[in-house]
Structure 1
Amino acid sequence: MNTNIFHKYLSVFIYLILSISFYCQDTIGYKINGAIFDPIDKVYIENATIILTENDQKIKSTNTYEDGKFNFKEIKSGNYKLHINHHDYENKFFPFKLKNSNKTLNISLQKSSFLLNTFEVIGNFKDDQKKLTGAGTKIEKQKIEKISPLGTQELLEYVPGINGFSDDGIGNSRISIGIRGLNPRRTSRVLVLEDGIPVQPALYIYSNMYYNPPVERIDHIEIIKGSSSIEFGPQTMGGVINYRTKRPREIFGGRVNINSGNNGYFSSLIEFGGFGNSKWRPEIQFIYKRGNGFRENNDFEQYNGTFKLSYIPNKKRKIYINLNANSETSNATYTGLTEYSFENNYRFNPKDNDMFYINRYSANVIQQIKINNSWESTTKGYFNYFKRDWWREYDVFTSASDYSDGNFSEIPLESTAGIDDLIRVGGGNSNFGILRTFSVAGIDHQYLWKHHINDTVFGKLKIGARFHFERFKDHAGNGDSPDARTGIYYRANNYETYAHSYFIREEFQVGNFLISPGIRFELFEQEMVNLLNNNRYDDAIIFEILPGIGFNYKLNKMNFYGGVHRGMTPPSNGTLLTLDFGNTSGTDFEAIKLKSETSIISEFGVRTLQKYYTLEATLFHLSIKDMIAAARGTQFTNLDNVTSSGLEIGANINFSSINSFLPDIFMSYTYLETVINNGILRYSALSDTIVPNVSGNELPYAPRHNLILGLSFDYKSKVFFMINHRYVSKCFSDFENIDFTYNRGDTGPIPAYWLLNSSVGFKLNNKFNITLSGKNLLNKKYIGSRLHSNPRQKGASSSSGIIPGMGRQVNIGLSLKF
C-alpha cells in the first residue's frame, strides 16, 4: 500500500477514534471529586450538603461522607457552581469550570456566625473544647460506632470521673451513673439533657432517670463538670451530660441500622428525610428494640419514634422542632439475688409477673435569631408527659431445696440466718404497684452579646432566664394477686413545682488568658397534696445563689484551666417527706432546716489536643453539705459535710498519625477519695440499739480506682479493631461501710472486677458497614450492685439483694445509608 495513502487512512482513523472518544466522554461525562474541611480545626466535615448547579438549575446533590469527601459522576463539560451547606458553618458558593477532564476540589468552610451554643454545652469545634474553663469530654460519633453500645451508660463509663453500676435490664433505658463519687442510683444527682433540653422526669422533685433516650438516636455526647455548668440547672453538683442528635438532612436520603445478638437482643433504626425544600427540612426516625436480658424473666420491648423539622426562614433565623414518642414494656424487678443464688445461678429470677410500663411524649421547639453582628438570642420551649407504672410481686424468703419441689413455704426474716440455700422469690399471693405520672413544661430564653472593651480585651456575655413547671403524681397501691394491675391505694401524693432560674456569665479574653465569672439564681416553690390524709397541703419556697468563676490559659500547645463554683440538688420528695416540709420540731431532725443539698466544686487541670496525642488531666475537690435523704431509706440526722477528691485522666496516643498500620492507645482513669465528715445516721443496719456515727467512712458506690485501657486500629477508614480492659476496684454499698455479707445478699461491699470488651468493623463502601462487637468477652460473673444500698431494710420485699453485672453479649450490626 502506498505510504501516503496509509498515513492518510491512519490519520482519518485516529481522528475518528478521538472524535468518538471525546463524544463518549462528553456523553458519559467526567467525575468531580472533592473534600470539605475546616481550616481552623484541621478536620474534614461530615454531612455537608453539596448541590451541583448549572445556570442556577440543580443537576445533582449529595452529602459528604465521614472523611469529608464527596463525588459526582457523569458530568459533562461546562460552567458549574457548588452550593455547600452545613448547620455549623457558613453557606458557601463555589464556581468552577469543568473542561474535558475529571476535577478534584478541596474546599474550606468558615464557622457559622451563630455563636450561641443552642444544642451544645461544649460546642462543635476543637477550639470550643480547648477554651473550656473546666473538665469537659466529648464522645464522638466515630467512637460510638466502634463501641457499638447497648445503651448510653456503656458509653458514659468511658468518661473519666464517671462511675456506673448495674441495674435491672439490658437496654440501658434506666441508667445509674454518678460523677466524682456522687451516688449513681438512677443518675439522680446529674443533670441530663438532650440537645440542651432537660430529659429527667421532674428536675426539682424527682430527677431519677426512669427514661433514657435510646443510644441509636445519639450522634455524640458532651459532658462538662466545671464552672460553666452554672448556665444549667438545677442538678449541677456532679456535672452536666448532653446527648446530641443529628439535625435533619437537606437532601433526600436516610439510613437503616440493625443490631442483633445473643440473649435475644435486637435493635433497629430506620431514618429518612430531605424531602422538603431549602427552608423546610423534615426528618422521621423510628426505633424498635427488644431483648431477653441477662437474667430469667428479664425481657423488654421498646418503640421510639421521632419527627424533626428544621425551618430556616432567612439567614438570621433558625427554628428546630422535635416531637418524640416512646413506649416500653419490661419484665423488670427489684428482686435481687441472695449469696446462694449468685454463686449457683446468677441468672435466676422467678418474678415473671413483675412488669414495668413506660409511655413518654415530648415536644421541643428551639429558635435562634441573629439580631446583629454583636447580639444573638435563643428561645427553647419544651413539654413532656411521662407515665410509668411498675407492678411487683411481694417477695418472701425460702430455701432452694423447698422451691425446687414446687411446694415451698416462707421462711421468716428472723429465721433466715442459718439457711445455707436461702433464696428470694415471689410470695404468690399479692403485689404492689408504684404508679407515677409526670407533666413538665418550660421556656428558656438566652442572649449572647459579643463585645470588646478595647483592642486587647474581648468579651462574650451570656444572660438567660427560665420558667419551669412540673407536676408529679406519686401513687401506690396493693393488688390482690401476683399479676394484678389495679389495687387499693396506700399512698397518693401530688407534687407541683414552680421554678424561676436566672443566670449571667461573662467571658473576658486577654491574649491567651480567658476568665469567666458567672452567677445563677434558683427560686422555686414545691407543693404537695396528700390525697389520703384529708388533702393535706404543704409547701416550701427555696432560693439559692450559685456563683462560679473559671479560667483558661493557653501556653504553647497546652491549655491550663480551673475554677470554683457552687452546685446544688433540690430537696427530693424523699427529703421533703423526711423533714415534713420543714416541720421538724420534736423529731429526730429538730433544728434541721429544709434546704437544698449544696456543694463547692473546685478543679484545676491541663488539656492538649494534638495530632499525635490528646490529654486532659484534672484534679478536683467537692465539698457537699445538707445531705439528709442520702439514699433509699437512708437518712442523716446530722451531716456536717462530705468531701470527694481525686484525679481524672483521659488520654489518647495516636500512633496511626505516624503510620496508618500502627494502632492508637486510649485510656480513661479516675482516682477517687471520699470522706464523710461528722455524719450520724438515723438508724443502723447492724443494731437497733446504737446510733451509728459514720464519720470518716467512705461514700457508697465510690470506687477508689476506675480504669479503661484500650487499643484501637483503624486502617484507611475501611477496617477497624478495638479492644479494651476495664477495671473497677472494690467499693462499699452503704454508708456504714459494712465489709461482710449476710446470706440475704443485701449487705456487703461490691468486690473489684475487670472486663474485656472488643469490636471489629468493616466498611465495604461509603454506604454500608458491618460491625461485630463483644461485651464481657470472658463472661465473667461479678456483682454489679446491691441496688438499694440500704441493708437496714432486711425484709424480702424491702431489701433488694445482688444485681449481677452484664454477662457476655455478642452482637453483629449492619448499617446502610441511602
Structure 2
Amino acid sequence: MKKILPLLLIFNIHAQVSESSISKAPKSTKALEFSEDETIYVIGSKEKAFSAPGSAHFIDQEELKRFDYTDIGRILDKVPGVYIQEEDGVGLRPNIGLRGAHPHRSKKVTLMEDGILIGPAPYSAPAAYYFPTPTLASTMEVFKGPAAVKFGPNSIGGAVNIVTKPILKKEESEVNFSYGVIKKAMISNSGTKGHTGWRIEAHKIQSDGFKTLPSGDDTGFDKNDFLAKYEYDLGRSFGGKPQKLSIKASYADELSKETYLGTTAEDFDSNAYDRYAASNDDEMNWEHYQAMVKHAITLSSNVKLNTTVYHHGFKRDWYKFNGLAAGQDINDIMLGKSGQNYLTLIKGQRDTLNADENLVLGRNSRKYFSQGALLQSTINADHGDFYHTLSLGLRVHRDQVDRNHTVKEAEMINGNLDYIEGSETLSNTTKDTSTAMTIFAEDEVSHNDLTVSVGSRVEFVKTKRENSLDSQRDGDNKDTIVVPGLGFNYMLTDNLVLVGGINKGITLVGPGQDDSIKPEESLNYEMGMRLKAPVYLEVIGFYSDYSNIKGTCSFSSGCAEDKIDSEYNGGEAEIFGIESAMSHTFKAKSYQFPVELSYTRTVARFTRTTTSDNKEWGIGEIKTGDPLPYVPQDQISAKVGLNNDIFATSLNMVWKGDMADQSVEEGRKLIPSYGVLDWVASYNYSKTGKIFTKVDNILDNTYLVSLRPYGARPGKPRMLSIGLNQKF
C-alpha cells in the first residue's frame, strides 16, 4: 500500500497538469474527440479496428444477433487466429486459444467483460471455469500482438473483451424466446429519464442434453443470468465538468450434468452420444456474482479520467468420476492400452468384485474472488502535425482460489453407483492468493498517414500458497514483469493500410511453484495489410519465438490430484502462420448477399528436445518439431447470406484440420478434421418483431472434439430451434 499511494498521487497530478497544459489544443480537431462508452470498449467499432496499429477484430451487435448463438466458440470461430477446443458440445466451458497458445481453459488469454478482468481468479488460477453467457453481449473484441500489450496478466496469446448491452436513451423492452433441444428465454428493459439511466435483463438457457446415460437420467444443463445497470449523469445534474457514475451488478448460476469421462474409439464409432454408468452422478454446480462501480469524468476536451472498482465472486462444486481405487490409468483403459477388464465395470455392465475395483468419485469444491480498482486516463494532444493519444493506467488487484477437494468410493451394483459410507477423505485443501499492481502506458502517435503505438505494461505480483496437505508446496513468491510492444498502421490510400508490430508475450508463474519454473515468454512479430474497398480483405502473417513455453497440469488434461496446478517448463518453441479474412456484400435491387471468409494457417511446434512430465503434452520425450496439442494447422470459416427488409437467411460453416492430442510422439493420437454447417432464417413481421428458426450442425455430422482427459467426446449433433424476438 505504501507503493500504491504515491503512484495514485502522481497519476492524479499528471492528469491535472495535462488538463492545464493541453486544454488549449484546437477543440475542432476530430482526432481529439472522445467516443461514447469508451470506458468499456478497447476498440470500439469496425472502423477503429481497421485503423488500429496491430491485429484487432470487432464483432458488432448485428453479427451477434444473426445466429443468436449461446456458444461463444461458434461466435469466435469466425475470427482468424482464434482456436476453440470444444469440450461439452454446447460451450459451457470454452477453451479459447489465440495464435497457437494452448486453448485449454483459456488460461493463456486475458478475458474481460466491459474492459474488466472477468476470470474467477486470473492471477491465482487463470483456468477459466466461468465465462460470460454470450447472449449478454452487445459486441465482442479480440486483439492479438501489440494490441494486447496493455492487458494482463496472461496475454501471450491476446485478449478477448465481452461488451454487455448498453443503457438506451429511449425506453425499450425486449423479449427473446426460442424452443428446441436448447431452450432460451431473455427479457430486458432499458431507458433514460432525466439524469438517470438503467438496464435490467434476465436470461435462461436450458437443455435436457444430447447424450444418453444407461439410467436414462438427463445430461443437460440449466443456466440463469441476471444483470442490472444504473447510470447517473452527475455533470448534467450538478453542472461543471461532464461526468457519470455507473453501477453494474450481476448474478449467474449453472447446474450441468457434464463429465470428463468419454468413451472408447469403438463405442464412439458405434454411438458417439452414449455415456458410461460411472459418470451418472457427474455434475457441475456453480454461482457467480459481480459488482462494479465506475466514475468517468471529462476534465477537458482532451483529458478523460475513469475510475472503476470491481468485485467478483465465484463458487463451484464439481462432482465427477475420478478413477478406480487401485489407481489404474483411465485414459489407458479408454485407449485400449491396459485394464480392459475394468471397462465393463465403468460401463456398468458388471458389478464391483473387490475393493480395488471401487470407483472413486471426487467433489472439487472451490471458492474464488477477484477484486480491485482500475484507474485510467486518456490524454489527447497535438504538436504541429503530430497527434498523440496517451493512455495511462494503474490497476491494483487481488484474487484468491480456496480449494476443498474430497474423494469417496462407490461400488457398481446393477449398473448403479452405491456409495460406501465413511469412505470420504480430503484430497486437496490448497489456498492460493495473488496481489498485483499493474501500470501501463501507451502513446499512439499519428503523423500524416502513419500511426505508431508504443506501450508497455509492468506487473508487480506477489503470490502465496497455504494450507496444502503437502506443506512443502506452501510458500510465497514475488515477480516483476515488463511487457513492451510497438505497433504501426500506415495508410497507403484511404482504403488500404499496412499494419505490423512487435511485442513481448508473457504467462506468469502461478502460486506455489518450484523456483525452477520460469514464466512463459515469447517475442511476437506480425506484418500484414487491410483493404476496405471494393471488398474488405485482411492478411496478416505472425511469428512467435518462445524462449520458454509453459504447461499447467489440470484434472481436465488427465493429471492426478497431487499434480493439479503444477507447472512445467517446456523450453523453446515457435508458432507462426497467416491469418486472413475477406467480406463483401453484393446487392441486387432490394436484396443483399453478404459473403464472409476467413482462413488461418498455423504451425506450432517445439524447437528443442526436452523431457515432459506434463500430461498436457504427454509423458516422455518431446523432440524438435513435435506439435503443440489441440492447435489445428488449418482452419476455415465461411458465411453466405441472403436478405432484404423483411427476410434474412444465412449459412455458416466452420472447418478445422487435424489436431494432435499430445506432443510426445509415443501414444500420440489425432483428432480428425471436421466441418460443421449451421443455418438460420428470420422473418420481420413488424418493425419491432421477428420470428426465426435455426439449425446447428444441419448435416448432422458426428465429429470428435477431444480425447482428454478420459476418452473420446463428441461435438453436438443437429439441433433445431424456433423462436421469437419482440421489442416494445
TM-score range (shorter-chain normalised) is: 0.7 to 0.9
Larger Rg: 1
State the shift of 1:813 in Å.
2.1
Q: CA 1:639 to 1:209, structure 2 compared with 1: closer, same or farther past 3 Å?
A: closer
Note if contact 1:287-1:304 (Cα within 8 Å) is conserved in structure 2: yes
Q: CA 1:413 to 1:273, structure 2 compared with 1: closer, same or farther past 3 Å?
A: closer
Note if contact 1:338-1:423 (Cα within 8 Å) is conserved in structure 2: no
State the shift of 1:480 in Å.
4.4
Please show how residues 631-780 of structure 1 align to structure 2 within 5 Å: 632=557, 633=559, 639-656=570-587, 659-683=589-613, 691-716=620-645, 718-737=646-665, 748-780=669-701
Q: Does 1:252 align with 2:189?
A: no
- Mapped to 1, the partners of 2:318 and 2:435 lie a distance apart of 27
Aligned residue for 1:389, secondary structure, equals: strand
Structure-1 residue corresponding to 2:198: 282
1:641-662 CA-partner distances (Å, limit 9, x unpaired) = 1111011111102112x64435
State the shift of 1:131 in Å.
1.9
Aligned residue for 2:301, secondary structure, equals: coil
- Mapped to 1, the partners of 2:322 and 2:465 lie a distance apart of 28
Structure-2 residue corresponding to 1:292: 208
Structure-2 residue corresponding to 1:606: 529
> Structure 1 residues 697-706 or 421-430, which shifts more?
421-430
Please show how residues 142-181 of structure 1 align to structure 2 within 5 Å: 142-168=62-88, 170=90, 172-181=91-100
Runs of at least 5 residues in structure 1 that lack an aligned partner in the other structure: 1-108, 398-409, 583-591, 741-746, 789-799
State the shift of 1:396 in Å.
5.5
Q: CA 1:595 to 1:774, structure 2 compared with 1: closer, same or farther past 3 Å?
A: same
TM-score normalised by structure 2 residue count: 0.85
2:506 aligned partner, one-letter code: M
Q: Does 1:310 align with 2:248?
A: no
State the shift of 1:691 in Å.
4.9
Structure-2 residue corresponding to 1:189: 108
- Mapped to 2, the partners of 1:464 and 1:421 lie a distance apart of 55
- Mapped to 2, the partners of 1:418 and 1:483 lie a distance apart of 22
- Mapped to 1, the partners of 2:577 and 2:439 lie a distance apart of 31
Q: CA 1:534 to 1:697, structure 2 compared with 1: closer, same or farther past 3 Å?
A: closer
Aligned residue for 1:173, secondary structure, equals: coil
Aligned residue for 1:319, secondary structure, equals: strand
Aligned residue for 1:757, secondary structure, equals: strand
State the shift of 1:361 in Å.
0.9
Note if contact 1:651-1:668 (Cα within 8 Å) is conserved in structure 2: yes
Structure-1 residue corresponding to 2:137: 218
- Mapped to 1, the partners of 2:597 and 2:548 lie a distance apart of 35
Q: CA 1:111 to 1:257, structure 2 compared with 1: closer, same or farther past 3 Å?
A: farther
1:253 aligned partner, one-letter code: E
Structure-2 residue corresponding to 1:562: 500
- Mapped to 1, the partners of 2:194 and 2:670 lie a distance apart of 59
Q: Does 1:622 align with 2:544?
A: yes
Structure-1 residue corresponding to 2:461: 524
Structure-2 residue corresponding to 1:552: 489
Aligned residue for 2:105, secondary structure, equals: helix
Structure-1 residue corresponding to 2:714: 804
Aligned residue for 1:517, secondary structure, equals: strand
Note if contact 2:55-2:146 (Cα within 8 Å) is conserved in structure 1: no
- Mapped to 1, the partners of 2:602 and 2:285 lie a distance apart of 37
Runs of at least 5 residues in structure 2 that lack an aligned partner in the other structure: 1-29, 213-217, 237-241, 326-331, 349-356, 411-416
Structure-1 residue corresponding to 2:320: 392
- Mapped to 1, the partners of 2:456 and 2:650 lie a distance apart of 43
- Mapped to 2, the partners of 1:757 and 1:340 lie a distance apart of 28
State the shift of 1:422 in Å.
6.5
1:220-257 CA-partner distances (Å, limit 9, x unpaired) = 11111131211111121111111111112233321001
State the shift of 1:626 in Å.
2.6
- Mapped to 2, the partners of 1:157 and 1:664 lie a distance apart of 18
Q: CA 1:684 to 1:599, structure 2 compared with 1: closer, same or farther past 3 Å?
A: closer
Structure-2 residue corresponding to 1:128: 48
Note if contact 1:737-1:749 (Cα within 8 Å) is conserved in structure 2: no
- Mapped to 1, the partners of 2:615 and 2:311 lie a distance apart of 42
Q: CA 1:206 to 1:783, structure 2 compared with 1: closer, same or farther past 3 Å?
A: same
Q: Does 1:238 align with 2:238?
A: no
Aligned residue for 1:128, secondary structure, equals: helix
Aligned residue for 1:216, secondary structure, equals: helix
Structure-1 residue corresponding to 2:380: 450
Q: Does 1:322 align with 2:248?
A: yes
Q: CA 1:684 to 1:143, structure 2 compared with 1: closer, same or farther past 3 Å?
A: closer
Aligned residue for 1:146, secondary structure, equals: helix
Higher relative CO (Cα under 8 Å, sequence separation at least 6) belongs to 2
Structure-1 residue corresponding to 2:5: none
- Mapped to 2, the partners of 1:524 and 1:333 lie a distance apart of 34
- Mapped to 2, the partners of 1:536 and 1:240 lie a distance apart of 31
Structure-1 residue corresponding to 2:432: 495
State the shift of 1:683 in Å.
4.2
TM-score normalised by structure 1 residue count: 0.76
State the shift of 1:761 in Å.
1.0
- Mapped to 2, the partners of 1:251 and 1:460 lie a distance apart of 32
State the shift of 1:111 in Å.
10
State the shift of 1:216 in Å.
1.4
1:50-88 CA-partner distances (Å, limit 9, x unpaired) = xxxxxxxxxxxxxxxxxxxxxxxxxxxxxxxxxxxxxxx
- Mapped to 2, the partners of 1:366 and 1:684 lie a distance apart of 42
- Mapped to 1, the partners of 2:32 and 2:590 lie a distance apart of 29
- Mapped to 2, the partners of 1:607 and 1:540 lie a distance apart of 44
1:711 aligned partner, one-letter code: V
1:259-286 CA-partner distances (Å, limit 9, x unpaired) = 2213xx2110111133x62211122111
1:664 aligned partner, one-letter code: P
State the shift of 1:430 in Å.
4.5
Aligned residue for 2:398, secondary structure, equals: strand
- Mapped to 1, the partners of 2:418 and 2:718 lie a distance apart of 31
1:727 aligned partner, one-letter code: W
State the shift of 1:555 in Å.
1.1
Aligned residue for 1:640, secondary structure, equals: coil
1:616-651 CA-partner distances (Å, limit 9, x unpaired) = 211011122333435544989764311110111111
1:709-745 CA-partner distances (Å, limit 9, x unpaired) = 22111213x211111332111110101145x7xxxxx
Note if contact 1:335-1:425 (Cα within 8 Å) is conserved in structure 2: no
State the shift of 1:685 in Å.
8.3
> Structure 1 residues 355-364 or 251-260, which shifts more?
251-260
Aligned residues: CA RMSD: 2.9
1:416-450 CA-partner distances (Å, limit 9, x unpaired) = 47779868447775421111110111111011111
- Mapped to 1, the partners of 2:498 and 2:170 lie a distance apart of 42
Aligned residue for 1:340, secondary structure, equals: helix
Q: CA 1:252 to 1:452, structure 2 compared with 1: closer, same or farther past 3 Å?
A: closer
- Mapped to 2, the partners of 1:218 and 1:428 lie a distance apart of 45
Aligned residue for 1:561, secondary structure, equals: strand
Structure-2 residue corresponding to 1:270: 187
Residue number among 337, 344, 360 corresponding to 2:263 in the alignment: 337
Note if contact 1:366-1:381 (Cα within 8 Å) is conserved in structure 2: yes
2:286 aligned partner, one-letter code: I
> Structure 1 residues 388-397 or 515-524, which shifts more?
388-397
1:464-504 CA-partner distances (Å, limit 9, x unpaired) = 11000011112211134458799421211111101010011
